[in-house]
Amino acid sequence: MKKKTLAVLLSATLVTSSITTVFAKDITVTIPNYASDEGNSNLPEAVETVTNSDGSISYTLDKKQQKKWKKDLKSSFDDSIKEILDDDENYPNVEDITYNDDMTEFEISLASSDLAPSEYFIGFLPLFTAPVYQQVNGIAEKDVDYTLAVKDSSDGSETTQTYEENKSDWESFKASMGGTSSDDMNNTSSSETKVDKISLTSDSSSLEYSGFETMPYEDGSSDILGIVKFNFTNKTDSPDSATSFYNIKAYQNSVELTWYMGNGNAACDNTYKTVLKDTSIETGFAFMLQDAESPITVYAYDGFMSDSPCQVQEIAIKKNKTAPAGNRDGSRISEEIQYFGKDIVSSSEQLHNQNICVAVIFVLKITYFIKSR
């Protein structure tokens, strides 16, 4: 009778999200494909690692490894929260981030819905830790779930999401940021229009192509940056920047080019500057060119969803139009920019930097965590 009772208790412990998990045998933990695209080199050791056909990665963990994974996951998550709460410059509106012991309930408290760029991605924070933590805690992958509540103390409003809703929003966002594949370069969709000169306008803003120039990546370097420049006009009552409304991508030889910032070019220095209503400013987007001769194709999206209106312009690269190199000051974003999902349980510093990198590059008007969609 005692053995039967013990077995029942053990079984119950393994299938619930209890903080006192009993690690009785090897288990398999699967990192979802949305979080495993770039690999997970900093994860703790596992008995076996298998890459699945859907892109997810499964790890077999023994008893000792389960304990370490659980400890490292929570420690990294706690450190990331602390860094966010301590960073008033990048996260001025984040008042608190809390969660329960089994990572099934999360709450983010904000002072205002007028978010800074980095804060638009706070709502994705649980997405890359909670599913893994729950599995290590004994929950089957198919049963993983959590609720995320975001509270705005300025007006008392509250928005909630489930894990599936949170994941769906991330996948939609990531798909939209993936741009157009090389196979589609010559076959624009119904939302894409080929133009001689990009000119997007709406009730909230406008963006018009103003020129192109090249410049050395750095003094003495053979690498060349291509600067695509636009005149941006804000039509809203609040200060805003071009990156709040528009997503710019560039291709050369049918391959997407890496976007750089902080290159010392005057137009690029304006990319994230906000302007008041009915004010215009020239902004620039810098891309690392593959060569200094092949034309580039620029995609300008009026929004950040996969069906956002898009204009496509081909730009010829003229020789002898290379400007002097600007001051880098180490501010460029490297080719190793990572999505949130890379190195899920890496150091808290790396996770924090991922938040910053993604937010800096993809400044969105995503407010579904704050306001009802």
Does residue 62 sit in the same domain as residue 143? yes
pLDDT at 177 (0 to 100): 54
Residue 35 belongs to domain spanning: 2-177+356-361
Answer whether residue 366 is part of any domain: no
Half-sphere exposure of 308 (CA within 13 A, CB side): 28
Does residue 235 sit in the same domain as residue 129? no
Answer whether residue 368 is part of any domain: no
Does residue 187 sit in the same domain as residue 307? yes
Q: For 230-240, what is the mean pLDDT?
A: 92
Does residue 58 sit in the same domain as residue 172? yes
What does the DSSP assignment read for 128-139? GTHHHHHHHTT-
Does residue 23 sit in the same domain as residue 148? yes
Does residue 155 sit in the same domain as residue 216? no
pLDDT at 175 (0 to 100): 58
CATH of the domain at 194: 2.60.40.1240
Q: For 209-235, what is the mean pLDDT?
A: 87
Give first-to-last CA distance, the chain, whole Å: 54
Q: For 330-346, what is the mean pLDDT?
A: 32
Q: How many domains does the chain have?
A: 2
Q: For residue 136, report the phi and psi dihedrals to the nearest 5 degrees.
A: -60, -30
Rg (CA), the chain: 23
**DSSP 8-state code for residue 92:** T
Q: Is 260 helix (H, G, I), strand (E, B) or coil?
A: strand
| Mean pLDDT lowest among 77-81, 148-152, 369-373 | 369-373
Enclosing H/E stretch for 11: helix 2-14
Answer whether residue 282 is part of any domain: yes
Q: Is 105 helix (H, G, I), strand (E, B) or coil?
A: strand
Answer whether residue 316 is part of any domain: yes
pLDDT score of 78 more than 80 = yes
Does residue 143 sit in the same domain as residue 45? yes
Q: For residue 229, report the phi and psi dihedrals to the nearest 5 degrees.
A: -110, 145
Question: Where is pLDDT greater, at 34 or 351?
Answer: 34
Q: How far apart are CA 188 and CA 239, in angstroms?
A: 33
Q: With contact defined as beta carbons under 8 Å apart, do 227 and 271 qualify?
A: no
pLDDT score of 353 more than 50 = no
Answer whether residue 244 is part of any domain: yes
Residue 71: C-alpha distances to residues 77, 203, 291 (Å): 10, 50, 47
Does residue 82 sit in the same domain as residue 102? yes
Does residue 42 sit in the same domain as residue 171? yes
Q: How far apart are CA 46 and CA 67, in angstroms?
A: 12
Does residue 194 sit in the same domain as residue 90? no
- What 3 state SS string does 295-340 have? CEEEEEEECCCCCCCEEEEEECCCCCCECCCCCCCCCCCCCCCCCC
pLDDT band at residue 322, thresholds of 50, 70 and 90?
very low
Does residue 21 sit in the same domain as residue 163? yes
Q: What is the dihedral of CA 292, 249, 362, 221, to 10 degrees?
A: 0
Predicted confidence (pLDDT) per residue in 21-53, tens digit: 445 578 888 888 777 544 454 567 888 888 888
pLDDT score of 313 more than 70 = yes
Answer whether residue 372 is part of any domain: no
pLDDT at 115 (0 to 100): 77
| Mean pLDDT lowest among 4-8, 115-119, 191-195, 261-265 | 4-8
Beta bridge partner(s), residue 256: 251
Answer whether residue 341 is part of any domain: no
Does residue 98 sit in the same domain as residue 136? yes
Q: With contact defined as beta carbons under 8 Å apart, do 294 and 317 qualify?
A: yes
Answer whether residue 345 is part of any domain: no
Residue 73: C-alpha distances to residues 82, 132, 314, 343 (Å): 14, 8, 46, 11
Predicted confidence (pLDDT) per residue in 129-143, tens digit: 999 999 998 899 999
- Burial annotation 190-217 (CB, 10 A radius, 16+ → b, else e): eebeeeeebebeeebbbbbbbebbbbbb
pLDDT at 265 (0 to 100): 80
